[in-house]
Amino acid sequence: GQSLEQPSEVTAVEGAIVQINCTYQTSGFYGLSWYQQHDGGAPTFLSYNALDGLEETGRFSSFLSRSDSYGYLLLQELQMKDSASYFCAVVGYSTLTFGKGTMLLVSP
Amino acid sequence: DADVTQTPRNRITKTGKRIMLECSQTKGHDRMYWYRQDPGLGLRLIYYSFDVKDINKGEISDGYSVSRQAQAKFSLSLESAIPNQTALYFCATRGGQETQYFGPGTRLLVL
């Protein structure tokens, strides 16, 4: 089976940097993905790490350590529009298993 | 036009009724998925399909059934709806290894 742990809520102010951690236990692993979901909307893909290290996409970066079964999503220069839920997901051959999500609240 | 569409977007039904949620995609992907989302529980997999002849149960398939009518269409049915099936339902496709594309979701309320 697979299980993922991520904080339920994180708060930050505009312009700040925030890190959302994700630890996982899995029996099959191709990589770790991150998705963003605004309230009531569809989840949208942010990033994918198949190998150890840091992947950068604009203001967002994602990190993976396979040996530690750990990853994180780093959001820089926070904007109000970044207020959303963020899900890490273990990527397997057939399916993705999602964490329960982290709600990020960005205040002015 | 959206790549993954779901109908209806909202549905209210009564306990014991049969309902069908439909999903269509124009991305040409073979892999399609149905998830349900409940507050605080993330996205949980109900069923998935790799082609019209391949249907697989997910984590929470009890009380649900699916039909893959074509590569582009994947329907989810609740044969006899119950109140704890009240949730937000998402259909998704998967092309490459890393990316799933989600539909806009269907809000279902079972009274």
Is some CB atom of chain A closer than 8 A to the CB atom of B101? Answer: yes
**A85/B109 Cα distance (integer angstroms):** 22
Tell me how close the Cα of B79 comes to any Cα of chain A, in angstroms.
Answer: 25
Distance of CA B78 to CAs A73, A98, B26, B65, B102, Å? 36, 23, 25, 7, 20
Q: Are strands A70-75 and A60-65 parallel, antiparallel or unpaired?
A: antiparallel
Q: Which residues of chain A have pLDDT under 50?
A: none
Q: What count of other Cβ atoms lies within 10 Å of the Cβ of residue B61?
A: 16
Phi, psi of A10 (to 5 degrees): -135, 140
- CB-based contacts of A45, cutoff 8 Å, min separation 6: A33, A34, A35, B98, B99, B100, B101
- Give the pLDDT of residue A81: 97
- Give the pLDDT of residue A21: 98
E strands within A26-83? 31-37, 44-49, 53-57, 60-65, 70-75
Give tens-digit pLDDT for A1-27: 678 999 999 999 999 999 999 999 987
| Residues within 8 A of A (CB atoms), B 68-97 only | 88, 90, 94, 97
Residue A85 corresponds to which tokens in the numbers above?
A: 């839920």
User: In chain A, what residues touch B43 (CB-CB under 8 Å)?
Assistant: 43, 87, 98
Nearest to A45 among B56, B90, B99 (CB): B99
- Give the pLDDT of residue B1: 61
- Give the pLDDT of residue A100: 95
Average pLDDT over residues B64-86: 96
Nearest to A98 among B43, B94, B105 (CB): B43
Whether residue B97 and residue A30 make contact (CB cut-off 8 A), yes or no, is yes
- Give the pLDDT of residue A25: 92
pLDDT band with cut points at 50, 70 and 90 for residue B11:
very high
- Give the pLDDT of residue B7: 97
**In a 3-state reduction of DSSP, which class is residue B85?**
helix
Give tens-digit pLDDT for B29-73: 999 999 999 988 889 999 999 999 999 999 999 999 999 999 999
**B24/B45 Cα distance (integer angstroms):** 18
Amino acid (one-letter) located at B34: W
- Give the pLDDT of residue A1: 67
